[in-house]
Structure 1
Amino acid sequence: MAAPAQAASCTPDNACLYSDSDFTGYKRDDYNSLHNWENVTYPGSPSIPLYAGDNYIFNVSSLDNWDVDTRISVYRAPYFMGPCFKIANYGSVTNFAYITLSGGQNANDVMGGHRFGNQCSGTVYDS
């Protein structure tokens, strides 16, 4: 199967999480669901977590899903809680700023964890 048209060099069946929009900035290529982004850092940056408080500049801002048969649910709060949205299998979201969560909050730089699967009741995105 050919690589997705989105960002390059993500491992098949993994999620690639980026600190900036358009798959730029710090990158984490991960096979596992991560229930709390505060406890996980970007490789090569041991002091920079995926989430360090609302609106922190290095929080995850784009996500590339290279799993061909599984959606990824992205949650506002750790432990798969709060408002959420889904990223289509083999899909991506180039900028969380384009997503409005239930309740009206923008998803950019405020999300707290992700889970491989369709558990979230939110909208499915694929930019």
Structure 2
Amino acid sequence: MIRRISAMLLAVASLFGAGVVMAAPAQAYCNSQHACFYENLGYTGMQRTDFYSRTSWANIAYAGTSIPLYKGDGVPENVTSIENADTDTKLSVYYNSGNLGPCFMIAAYGSVYNMAAIYVKSGTQANDNMNSHRFSNSCLGNTYDF
């Protein structure tokens, strides 16, 4: 048993010594029927995967941190990209807590690569400013998938 482990460790070490490096995936995987929220554009940076609708992103944190998804308008750690892996329901994203105020939707099984490209009806840029979400088709804003 020890010989097998030693041989395996030696094989792995030799791969890295030979310059073979495995690249990380460009995009994190979002579990089916969940929404995934990312700090940076392009589905990178801190992430939170959520199965539930949330009335305030200030009360939930990115995985493995105590950093909330929303810390006030314009804060760089706020959500910048989102994946909606729900196969039949849009994800409504709201400017205010309580799932209120200006909003937009992300198509079922859709995503938004960079929320800086979205402006809600109040004229406010969505990036780093949105504060709650609900799995529903009830938002009166536009639907996105890019």
User: Amino acid of the residue matched to residue 87 of structure 2?
Assistant: V
- CA shift, 1:7, in A, is 3.7
Q: Percent identity?
A: 46
- CA shift, 1:9, in A, is 1.5
Q: Which residue of 1 aligns with 2:110?
A: 91
Q: Which residue of 1 aligns with 2:40?
A: 20
Name the TM-score, length of structure 2 as normaliser.
0.80
- CA shift, 1:104, in A, is 1.2
Q: Which residue of 2 aligns with 1:54?
A: 73
* Larger Cα-atom Rg: 2
Q: Which residue of 2 aligns with 1:124?
A: 143
Number of residue pairs matched by the alignment: 121
Question: Does structure 2 conserve the Cα–Cα contact (< 8 Å) formed by 1:7 and 1:64?
Answer: no
* 1:67 correspondence with 2:86: yes
Q: Which residue of 2 aligns with 1:3?
A: none
Q: Which residue of 2 aligns with 1:102?
A: 121
Q: Hey, what's the Cα distance between the residues in 2 that align with 1:8 and 1:56? A: 23
4+ residue runs over 2 A deviation: none
Name the TM-score, length of structure 1 as normaliser.
0.92
* 1:76 correspondence with 2:106: no
Question: Does structure 2 conserve the Cα–Cα contact (< 8 Å) formed by 1:61 and 1:108?
Answer: yes
Q: Hey, what's the Cα distance between the residues in 2 that align with 1:105 and 1:126? A: 19
> Which structure features the higher share of helix residues?
2
Q: Hey, what's the Cα distance between the residues in 2 that align with 1:8 and 1:79? A: 28
- CA shift, 1:103, in A, is 2.1
Q: Hey, what's the Cα distance between the residues in 2 that align with 1:74 and 1:121? A: 11
Indicate which of 86, 111, 115 corresponds to 2:130: 111
Structure 2, unpaired ranges of 5+: 1-25
Question: Does structure 1 conserve the Cα–Cα contact (< 8 Å) formed by 2:102 and 2:121?
Answer: yes
Question: Does structure 2 conserve the Cα–Cα contact (< 8 Å) formed by 1:37 and 1:49?
Answer: yes
Q: Hey, what's the Cα distance between the residues in 1 that align with 2:45 and 2:28? A: 14
Question: Does structure 1 conserve the Cα–Cα contact (< 8 Å) formed by 2:42 and 2:81?
Answer: yes
1:7–1:71 CA distance, 2 compared to 1 (3 A): farther
Indicate which of 16, 31, 37 corresponds to 1:11: 31
